[in-house]
Structure 1
Amino acid sequence: MPRSHRSRGRAARAREPHPELDVDRLTAAWRRTEVRGGREWNVQPVSEAQAVKAYLCPGCGLEIDPGVAHLVAWRADGVLGEAADLASRRHWHTYCWRIGPT
């Protein structure tokens, strides 16, 4: 008897609604913590598709153009709290961050 290549559960799965994607949860998975110069930093990559605005890189002082992948970094151990740390986040060229802040 020939083998069937169809999944037996396909009809049942087709009736189930697709779960809504949680973008915050997905992007938080890429966030990491780094220690530099005795300070703890949250670092999150920004893909080309997510980069829709221009930013000034604090490492080199040059503009990060829209459509260029880069990193966003903010203090993870600031004394003023998480809201203040998020407000002071900065966009860095990936290379500038790698050689970067101390």
Structure 2
Amino acid sequence: MSRLASLPRTQSGPGGAEFTVRHVRGGDKTYTCPGCNQTIPVGTPHVVAWSNESLFGPERGLEERRHWHTSCWERRLW
């Protein structure tokens, strides 16, 4: 079941734009969440999201992906 959670899926994100979203178990470095500007510590499960609507194509959207606290991402959806 944990593998299914990590499969990318399309979801409406901030501003109603379409995003590819992936839940990850945790990384080996820290990230700054764009939702709260707080650190996501090493090894913390979180969401990685990138826009499907980049003006420069899907590859650019992937390059601009962001790491979010799961709760911050979910709050942005409402």
Task: Count residues with an aligned counterpart.
Answer: 74
Distance 1:98 1:41 in 2: 13
Q: Which residue of 2 aligns with 1:32?
A: 9
State the Cα deviation string for residues 74-100 of structure 1 (Å, max 9, x = none): 001222101210111000000000002
> In structure 1, the residue corresponding to 2:37 is in which secondary structure?
coil
- Structure 2: where are the runs of 5+ without partners? none
TM-score, normalised to structure 2's length? 0.83
- Using CA pairs below 8 Å that are at least 6 residues apart, which structure has the higher relative contact order? 2
> In structure 2, the residue corresponding to 1:30 is in which secondary structure?
coil
- Structure 1: where are the runs of 5+ without partners? 1-25
TM-score, normalised to structure 1's length? 0.65
Q: Which residue of 2 aligns with 1:10?
A: none
The structure with more radius of gyration: 1
- Report the structure, 1 or 2, having the larger strand content: 2
Q: Percent identity?
A: 39
Cα RMSD after superposing both structures: 2.0
CA gap 1:101/1:88 in 2 versus in 1, 3 angstroms: farther
Q: Is 2:51 the counterpart of 1:82?
A: no
**Which runs of structure 2 are paired with 1:16-27 in the superposition (5 Å)?**
none
Distance 1:59 1:101 in 2: 11
